[in-house]
Amino acid sequence: MSTEIEDLTSDPDTEQTVERHMVRGAIYGLLLGFGIATYLVLFAVVPFGDWIPLTIVALLGILAGVLWARFAPPKGAAERPDTGELASDPVESAPSPPAPPEAAAPSPPVPPAAPGDQV
């Protein structure tokens, strides 16, 4: 299922098509529901033999996944307000912090070995 949204950078007469993945959202939501149901059983919030609350949690997970797939912003659609470039473009990073200062006292020099000394 695809949804049409306006492209803010182009003419108002043109539209951009965004592909939505509802089935993928339902699958990931089901996994989310199973994970939450597992936590509820492991922490003894819901007894193991009671399947109705666990089924409701799994169905709510599917609903959450489908809603996220439907209404979440598409990847790369956000624009940076200062330049109008896509947010997926690399952003200039902040300047790197200064290098740590060198050790205050250098290590003392090692005296030369005398002839006949063993190392």
Per-position b or e across 88-114, b if 16+ CB within 10 A of its CB: eeeeeeeeeeeeeeeeeeeeeeeeeee
**101 inside domain:** no
**96 inside domain:** no
**71 inside domain:** yes
Where does the pLDDT of residue 75 fall: very low under 50, low under 70, confident under 90, or very high at 90 and above?
A: confident
Where does the pLDDT of residue 86 fall: very low under 50, low under 70, confident under 90, or very high at 90 and above?
A: low
**94 inside domain:** no
Looking at per-residue pLDDT, the higher value among 67 and 49 belongs to 67
**12 inside domain:** no
Over residues 92-103, the pLDDT tens digits come to: 566 777 766 665
pLDDT at residue 62, as a whole number: 92
**51 inside domain:** yes
What is the tally of structural domains in the chain?
1
**5 inside domain:** no
Q: Where in the sequence is the domain holding 54, given as residue range(s)? A: 21-76
Query: Chain-wide mean pLDDT for the chain?
Result: 75
